[in-house]
Structure 1
Amino acid sequence: GSLQQQRSRSCIQVPSRTCSHPGAEDSSTSAAGPSAGGSRIGLAGQPSDPLGGSGWGDDSAGGAPPSASAASASGRSGMQPYRRIPSNHQMAPGEGAPVHGVFHEMDIYTPLSGHLPRLWQLWEMTLLGRALLLVAPTPGEASAGVAALLSLIAPLPYAPDFRPYYCIHDAAFGRLAAGVLPGPEARDVPTLMGVTNLYFLRALPHWPNILSIGKREAAAGAGGCGGGPGGASQSSFSGSSSAASAAGGSLAAAANMFRANAAVQALRQRTQGAAVLLSGHTEALWAAYKPLCRPDQALLQRLLQPKPGDVKSKVARIALVNSDAIRRHFSELTTAFLSPFNRYFEAEGGSGRVPGWNSSEFTFALRSGELAIPQQLLDRVGSPAAALELYARFTACLNFAAWFAARRRLLPPHLTAPLLP
């Protein structure tokens, strides 16, 4: 009835989750519609608007859909809609071929710009399919944030259930609120969710990892850049030394106040956890998962930083360049991470057959040096022991099982059949 209609209107349709990786499966054929309660909700299919126009900010019961598209809603809230990154854009010499994968055309930099040093932790959590709740001010930002996370692990397909914009009317919400976490025994509940309704923070206190992105619209009349309404004061100083001293004192006091407020906010984040979002939005990560990877400072230093006075077109160009650099870095890291598994997709010279999977033999081959641990991975985790631990976590997760099975299905049957006595 009316509840079903609200659910249908609060969902943003997701396109086919295709991936250029060999063996990746197109889940569009198995995705259920909104009425099934298990639909994969995500980005809209219109080329000019990657976020579509059917979601709204409050996904609680009793809300009303907007009268315009989500892009217009983003404009009203003071947030710029995230742009698609053209897959055929001109690249500088030496950049190499475009990186393809799920949501490879999306802006990956803007949604995660507040978490750049944490990108490797987010890559690791997404790679392993760890439960993650993404909180954003608007449906567009939530959808773009989830798409950016999935793009980090390309060319590896993401196997668990994900919802770029999740609402409380979904059939699985009752199980989530009852304390169920995604896992081998509960694959019917989403693992990665983008939400705007802060009620999720109260309903899911057991959720182990929570990421908040985006910035809410500044209050009206707040200080802006330069003179003008709502900006700096229009009164001019005479230039006297007393006025300069007063201005200097005011700036110093403002700087001290800013540092004090930042310290208080950091303390609240540590003591209250994600519940701090109930009193005011902030970009932060609360994670029970302890990562093994460390940031690549060289990449962070290469990223361009937009300035407050930059025009929108320049900000968009900076986002495009940064997105390409981030996507390329993590694509190379993921490809290197997966390279030791190639032996299970290629026929051996002696028997002419592909070896079967055995986790103990794989770990022994890595530890003994029979299989080389990729240097790109060692640079990020710091030691062979940490690399072995990451491989152990990966081979126990759903992403590995689905990807490995899909790759093996591409092999001729006679290469994987057991030898007859």
Structure 2
Amino acid sequence: MVSPSTLSSLQLVYPSDFRLTDKEKSSICYLSFPDSHSGCLGDTQFSFRMRQCGGQRSPWHTNDGHYDRGAPVALQRESAHYFGFVHFRQVKDSSVKRGYFQKSLVLLSRLPFVRLFQALLSLIAPEYFDKLAPCLEAVCNEIDQWPAPKPGQTLNLPVMGVVVQVRVPSRVDRSEASPLKQCDQESLLPAPVVLTSVHELDLFRCFQPVLAHVQTLWELMLLGEPLVVLAPSPDVSSEMVLALTSCLQPLKFCCDFRPYFTIHDSEFKEFTTRTQAPPNVVLGVTNPFFIKTLQHWPHVLRVGEPKMSGDLPKQVKLKKPSRLKTLDTKPGLYTSYTAHLHRDKALLKRLLKGVQKRRPSDAQSALLRRHLLELTQSFIIPLEHYMASLMPLQKSITPWKSPPQIRPFSQDDFLRGLEHAGPQLTCILKGDWLGLYRRFFKSPHFDGWYRQRRKEMAQKLEALHLEAICEADIETWVKDKSEVEVVDLVLKLREKLVRAQGRQLPVKEATLQRAQLYIRTVIGSLPKDLQAVLCPP
């Protein structure tokens, strides 16, 4: 949904049947404009994320579940939040009472496709600011014809006379993205606008001022610690927050995060109260008022204006929270947290050398992204191996008994095994890995990871049980069973079949066909009256 807004009101909403509550409209208006401290002249793009108020009110694609099953966890649809992508324009205009033309074009989505939607707004916004509603209506009609996003596929998306080409990642992708297939266009048509990623930011540009503290920030994100990013403008704020929350890939970021947050937000009191501990949220703010309001927060990252030169910006210093007292606080990471892992000095040297040799920013970003990916994978692999050991052996799964239970996760057992199966097998970094895992167990990210893995294992167990039933001699089993037992088997098989057909169980098509055959065979062994009940005409 695309919606343009002025300083105090929502002028237009497309599609027109999309309903927003008054609370949501108010939030969009405030979140789509830089506050008065930012001084953003010209065109500025930034992002926000806001909580949905009330239940589902609009028809979304019916294949959402299919998309989420194939997409990386970090790119799955949000169920309770909207992402807002903003193109804000402020230019001098003497004909306006304020002396400035100020307007924002906002695109709302449940998908975090930052690169795609920013590129789309860059195409639409200049035209919209000139032609207003007719332009927006035409664009929305074009977007309405776009195919639904499919993980692993390259999409060609026509809009305003050009074709935007982008590939939607799949959860089975390797770390290196698959190359884009070229769009089949006639030679007379302009070449497509090819995006190298649907969502990835220029990670090196975002992290340039904090490179010396990237691993500390990675640990804070891993542990779900409350963090405030105080930036000079919404674009710097939102990019830094999105860069931080992407640090944990392929692990899902399970905490709340707000790339741009204002004092007018409906959750302002909830996030700033001093009567309880700060919530597990990453806040991006620009108003210096937050320095005073959030002094009790354990971690505050203040960043300055981005440098345009080719030199590496001055690195922010690590400072104690007690230094966070005045409104003219200098850039720095204000925290009492001591990192568990030693800094990777080799990585910093490579990145600094890249700056000196004018290495392209995308190459620098690739280096940084690979380092963070390998760091996260090294941390998660021992957890994955231990979790796999809790799965019952396949030979213990028999067709006529309920499948055995997954053994409970024992933190002590896991920690005892770290000496032989820990992250040191895949990561050269030294440090207190044991202490990091202990703190991780108390974080929302462990809870989110464990719930997801246990759910997947339970589904796998159920699928193996269904396969065991389908491979058994069901006709022999039926002979000495009561009608109640046979009917119970039919009902259980049908329930499993419905779940499997809904792709909730990882089973092969051949298994589904055998299950349907077994159901017919079992029903056929019952008296006619029961057959009529189980298979009504």
After superposition, the Cα gap between the structure-2 partners of 1:397 and 1:348, relative to the gap in structure 1 and judged at 3 Å, is same
Q: CA separation of 1:110/1:128 partners in 2, compared to 1, >3 Å: closer, same or farther?
A: same
Query: What are the within-5 Å matches in structure 2 for residues 83-162 of structure 1?
Result: 97-98=176-177, 105-162=200-257
**Contact 2:245/2:253 (<8 A) preserved:** yes
Tell me, yes or no, if the aligned pair for 1:129 and 1:399 is still in contact at 8 Å.
yes
Q: Which amino acid aligns with 1:140?
A: D
Could you list the per-position Cα deviations for residues 369-392 of structure 1 after superposition, in whole angstroms to 9, with x for gaps in the alignment? Answer: 3xx11226763243xxx1111111
Q: What SS does the aligned partner of 2:417 have? A: helix
RCO (CA 8 Å, sep 6+): is it higher in 1 or 2? 1
Supply the distance in 1 between the matched residues of 2:70 and 2:202 (Cα, whole angstroms): 18
Q: Which amino acid aligns with 1:10?
A: Y
Q: Is the 8 A contact 2:216 2:339 kept in 1?
A: yes
> Which one of the candidate residues 57, 68, 78 is aligned to 1:28?
78
Q: 1:275 maps to which residue?
A: 325
Alignment of 1:219-238 (within 5 A): none
Residue of structure 2 aligned with 1:407, choices 453, 469, 490: 453
Provide Cα deviations, 1:135-163, integer angstroms capped at 9, x if missing partner.
11110111100111112111111111110
**Offset of residue 45 of structure 1:** 5.3
What is the distance in 1 between the residues matched to 2:117 and 2:72? 29
TM-score for both structures, normalised by structure 1: 0.61
1:366 aligns with 2:418: yes
Is 1:204 equivalent to 2:252 in the alignment?
no
Q: Does residue 213 of structure 1 match 2:308?
A: no
Question: Is 2:211–2:348's contact at 8 Å kept on the other side of the alignment?
Answer: yes
* 1:191-340 matches, cutoff 5 A: 191-215=281-305, 273-276=323-326, 278-279=327-328, 282-303=330-351, 304-306=353-355, 318-340=360-382
* One-letter identity of the residue aligned with 2:449: W
CA deviations 1:68-114 (Å, max 9, x no partner) are 9xxxxxxxxxxxxxxxxx987xxxxxx96239xx9851111111101
How many angstroms apart in 1 are the aligned matches of 2:422 and 2:219?
Answer: 17
| TM-score for the superposition, normalised by structure 2 | 0.49
SS of the equivalent of 1:275 reads: coil
Question: 1:329 and 1:14, CA in 2 relative to 1: closer, same or farther beyond 3 A?
Answer: same
> Relative to structure 1, is the Cα distance of residues 279 and 332 closer, same or farther in structure 2, using a 3 angstrom cutoff?
same
Paired AA for residue 275 in structure 1: K
**What is the rounded CA distance, in whole Å, between the counterparts of 2:268 and 2:116 in structure 1?**
31
- Aligned pair in 2 of structure 1 residues 33, 134: CA closer, same or farther (>3 Å)? closer
Aligned-partner residue type, residue 365 of structure 1: G
Q: Which residue in the other structure is 1:245 paired with?
A: none
Structure 2, unmatched stretches of 5+, are 1-7, 10-21, 32-46, 51-63, 85-107, 123-128, 131-164, 168-173, 179-196, 398-403, 464-537
Shift of 1:297: 1.4
The superposition leaves residues 283-321 of structure 1 with CA deviations (integer Å, 9 ceiling, x where unpaired) of 3101122210121111111115446xx9xxx7xx72211
Q: Quick check: 2:237–2:284 contact (8 Å CA) kept in 1?
A: yes
CA gap 1:377/1:138 in 2 versus in 1, 3 angstroms: farther
Q: Structure 1: which 5+ runs fail to align?
A: 54-66, 69-85, 89-94, 184-188, 219-223, 226-261
Taking structure 1 as reference, are residues 149 and 20 closer, same or farther at Cα in structure 2, changes over 3 Å only?
Answer: farther
> Residues of 2 paired with 1:126 and 1:47: CA distance?
25
Aligned mate of 2:116, from 42, 47, 67: 47
- Displacement of 1:360 in angstroms is 2.1
- Tell me the secondary structure at the aligned position of residue 360 of structure 2: helix
CA distance in 1, matches of 2:350, 2:30: 39
Measure the CA separation in 1 of the matches of 2:208 and 2:321: 25
Q: Return closer, same or farther for 1:43/1:200 CA change in 2, 3 Å cut-off.
A: farther
What does residue 344 of structure 1 align with?
A: 387
Q: Is the Cα–Cα contact under 8 Å of residues 78 and 110 in structure 2 kept in the other structure? A: no
> Is the CA contact 2:49–2:83 (under 8 Å) kept in the aligned structure 1?
no
- Give the Å deviation of 1:196: 0.5
Report the AA paired with residue 401 of structure 1: D
- Is the 8 Å Cα contact of residues 161 and 192 (structure 1) preserved in structure 2? yes
Secondary structure at 1:380 match in 2: coil
Pick one of 387, 390, 396 that aligns with 2:442.
Answer: 396
2:159 is aligned to none
Change (3 A) 1:173 1:45: same
How far the C-alpha of 1:21 sits from its partner, in A, is 7.8
Which residue of structure 2 lines up, in the alignment, with residue 380 of structure 1? 429
2:265 to 165, 170, 174: 170
Determine what percentage of the aligned residue pairs are the same residue: 27
Aligned pairs, how many? 312
Residue 9 of structure 1 and its aligned partner are, at CA, apart by 1.8
RMSD (Å), alpha carbons: 4.4
Contact 1:46–1:52 (CA under 8 A) maintained in structure 2 = no
**Counterpart AA for 1:333:** L
Residues 8, 42 of structure 1: alpha-carbon distance in 2 compared, 3 angstrom cutoff: farther
Whose Rg is larger? 2
Cα deviation digits, residues 12-42 of structure 1 (max 9, x gap):
45599979787678351222699xxxx9999
**Aligned match of 2:490:** none
Tell me the distance in 2 between the aligned counterparts of 1:208 and 1:133: 9
Asked whether the equivalents of residues 317 and 331 of structure 2 are also in contact (C-alpha less than 8 Å), the reply is no
